[in-house]
């Protein structure tokens, strides 16, 4: 049995060269190698370079991978052979001409056998432009600056912001990219001029915008909060107004606020004003029985160059009444207030600018009418005077002629 196995083994080994060289075996080997070749080639040449960026309204060039071999290639956009306006060079490079947003997408190039050679995602946009920057200073310890893009880039961007006072080192302004603003805490308020520098960067370029400003001029508190207007029992002409400091304003004696209260009867066009430093404040000259509109605003008391806050929401209140079942008075007409004294004991009456202009216009018209009357009267008096003088001269001449005639008659002939 062992001898037979050795003979059979030798016989099989001796016959292998002839078997491998037979036409059938060669055909099978070639078929298997051809079947396996596409997958191997695709693994070797399937390169994905990620994202390529291009500028809108310009020409964009896409290369078919890193291979320098010049072979015919076919380009597809989003698995479609329909491409925007383009040309393909001899080395397989795709040149997109004067691209717009429709040219964005996934580009793939294939050889003449349909094998994927390369793919890339194309995104289009613009490089950054200058920013429009504005800053708010709600208190002495915080600055917030926001910006608006002057150029819509259509591309993701990064922002870097820095802030400094005159002669100081640059310090970071903490950026919130989503809301497009940055914050600085505890700025050097004693410095006269401050500078903010913001750089915007995307895949197509970078742009830096700088602005200079004065913090003490931008200081603008938030409106007063928790404003309440109530009646004073037993006083039909009084209202009491109370409020809280803005929550963003530091409660410290070093940063006092001045408050302005304005009020008017409902339907009036004239405001009265009261200035105060503390809450509450009593209005002594409210119109009995009528609804009143009340608003507040605040400003830094020490810094006269700071800005007033926005007005608080409009509130309505009515002074105390003896009988709450009595009918409510109708809203007053503006003509009523022509004879109503809007200047209270503790307030300064302020007329609406439009009404002041109308009053000035009426006053000017009256002055013109008076001047015109004076001119007419003067002219009439002058004419009367001239006529009187002429008549007097004529009478005088007539008397002289009569006297001469009498003398001539009395002379002896």
Tell me: the pLDDT tens digits for 47-103?
446 899 999 999 999 988 765 556 788 888 888 877 888 888 878 888 999 999 999
CA distance linking residue 288 with residue 231, whole number of Å: 11
pLDDT(7) > 50:
no
pLDDT(370) > 60:
yes
pLDDT(34) > 80:
no
Q: In the block, which residue shows the tokens 């002594």? A: 284
pLDDT(36) > 50:
no
pLDDT(356) > 50:
no
355: left (phi over 0), alpha (psi -120 to 50) or beta: alpha
Query: What is the full DSSP assignment across 22-87?
Result: SHHHHHHHHHHHHHHHHHHHHHHH-EEEEEEEEETTS-EEE--SS------EEEEETTBS--SSEE
Task: Return the sign of the alpha-carbon dihedral for residues 242, 246, 247, 251.
Answer: negative
DSSP SS3 for 401: helix
pLDDT(31) > 60:
no
Q: What is the pLDDT of residues 243-268, one digit of tens each?
A: 999 999 987 778 899 999 999 999 89
pLDDT of residue 190: 87
Query: What is the full DSSP assignment across 234-273?
Result: TEEEEEEEEEE--TTS---TTS-EEEEEEEEETT-S-EEE
pLDDT(40) > 80:
no
CA distance linking residue 170 with residue 323, whole number of Å: 67
Same CATH topology for 51-125 and 225-353? yes
pLDDT of residue 21: 46
Neighbours of 229 (CB within 10 A): 23
Q: What is the pLDDT of residues 282-340, one digit of tens each?
A: 999 999 989 999 999 999 999 889 999 999 999 999 999 987 444 555 554 444 443 33
**345 preceded by cis ω (within 30°)?**
no
131-218: what CATH class?
Answer: mainly beta
166 against 136, higher pLDDT:
136
pLDDT of residue 69: 59
pLDDT(281) > 90:
yes
Where do the domains of the chain lie? Answer: 2-45, 51-125, 131-218, 225-353, 361-391
pLDDT of residue 397: 66
pLDDT band at 361 (very low <50, low <70, confident <90, very high): low
Q: Do residues 87 and 79 make contact, with C-beta atoms less than 8 angstroms apart?
A: no
For residue 355, what are its two tokens? 């009404």
The mean of the pLDDT values for the chain is 79
Element (H, E) at 398: helix 353-410
Nearest one of 411, 137, 354 to 248, comparing CA atoms:
137
Question: 143 pairs with which residues across the strands?
Answer: 184
pLDDT of residue 83: 81
CA distance linking residue 358 with residue 354, whole number of Å: 6
Of the CATH numbers 3.40.50.720, 3.30.230.10, 1.10.540.10, 2.60.40.10, which one belongs to the domain with range 51-125?
2.60.40.10
CA distance linking residue 386 with residue 390, whole number of Å: 6
Give the mean model confidence (pLDDT) for residues 207-235: 94
For residue 293, what are its two tokens? 């509109």
pLDDT of residue 255: 86
225-353: what CATH class?
Answer: mainly beta
pLDDT(406) > 80:
no
CA distance linking residue 139 with residue 362, whole number of Å: 44
pLDDT of residue 348: 37
CA distance linking residue 143 with residue 162, whole number of Å: 12
Share of residues in the chain with pLDDT > 90 (%): 50
pLDDT of residue 407: 61
Nearest one of 240, 311, 307 to 271, comparing CA atoms:
311
CA distance linking residue 162 with residue 197, whole number of Å: 5
188 against 42, higher pLDDT:
188
DSSP SS3 for 20: helix
User: Which residues make Cβ contacts (< 8 Å) with residue 198, sequence separation at least 6?
Assistant: 131, 133, 145, 147, 159, 160, 161, 173, 182, 208, 209, 210
pLDDT band at 360 (very low <50, low <70, confident <90, very high): low
For residue 147, what are its two tokens? 């910006």
pLDDT of residue 127: 95
Sheet holding 142-149, edge to edge: 131-139, 142-149, 181-185, 174-176
CA 361 vs CA 72, 268, 338, 352, 381: distances in Å: 85, 20, 16, 14, 30
pLDDT(33) > 90:
no
DSSP SS3 for 358: helix
For residue 49, what are its two tokens? 């370079």
């Amino acid at each position: 049995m062992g001898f037979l196995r050795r003979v059979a083994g030798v016989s099989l080994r001796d016959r292998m060269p002839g078997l491998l060289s037979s036409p059938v075996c060669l055909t099978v080997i070639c078929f298997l190698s051809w079947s396996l070749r596409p997958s191997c080639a695709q693994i070797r040449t399937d390169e994905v370079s990620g994202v390529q960026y291009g500028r809108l309204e310009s020409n964009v060039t896409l290369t078919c991978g890193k291979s320098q071999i010049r072979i015919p290639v076919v380009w597809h956009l989003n698995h479609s052979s329909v491409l925007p306006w383009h040309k393909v060079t001899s080395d397989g490079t795709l040149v997109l001409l004067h691209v717009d947003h429709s040219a964005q997408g996934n580009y793939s190039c294939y050889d003449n056998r349909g094998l994927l050679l390369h793919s890339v995602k194309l995104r289009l946009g613009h490089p950054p432009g200058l920013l429009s920057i504005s800053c708010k200073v709600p208190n002495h310890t915080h600055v917030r600056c926001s910006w608006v893009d002057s150029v819509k880039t259509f591309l993701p961007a990064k922002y870097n912001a820095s802030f400094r006072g005159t002669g100081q080192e640059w310090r970071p302004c903490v950026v919130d990219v989503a809301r497009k603003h940055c914050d600085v805490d505890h700025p050097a308020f004693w410095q006269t001029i401050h500078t903010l520098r913001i750089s915007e960067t995307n895949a197509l370029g970078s742009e830096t915008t700088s602005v200079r400003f004065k913090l003490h001029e931008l200081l603008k508190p938030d409106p007063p909060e928790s404003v309440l207007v109530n009646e004073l029992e037993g006083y039909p002409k009084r209202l009491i107004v109370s409020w809280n400091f803005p929550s963003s304003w530091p409660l410290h004696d070093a940063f006092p606020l001045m408050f302005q209260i304005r009020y008017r009867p409902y339907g009036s066009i004239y405001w009265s004003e009261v200035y105060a430093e503390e809450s509450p404040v009593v209005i002594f000259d409210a119109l009995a029985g009528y609804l009143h509109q009340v608003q507040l605003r605040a400003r830094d008391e020490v810094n006269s160059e700071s800005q007033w806050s926005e007005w608080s929401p409009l509130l309505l209140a009515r002074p105390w009444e003896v009988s709450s079942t009595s009918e409510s008075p109708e809203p007053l007409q503006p003509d009523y207030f022509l004879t109503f004294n809007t200047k209270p004991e503790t307030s300064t009456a302020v007329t609406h600018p439009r009404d002041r202009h109308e009053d000035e216009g009426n006053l000017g018209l009256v002055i013109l009418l008076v001047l015109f009357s004076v001119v007419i009267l003067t002219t009439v008096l002058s004419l009367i005077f001239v006529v009187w003088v002429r008549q007097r001269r004529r009478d005088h001449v007539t008397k002289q002629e009569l006297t001469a005639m009498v003398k001539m008659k009395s002379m002896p002939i």
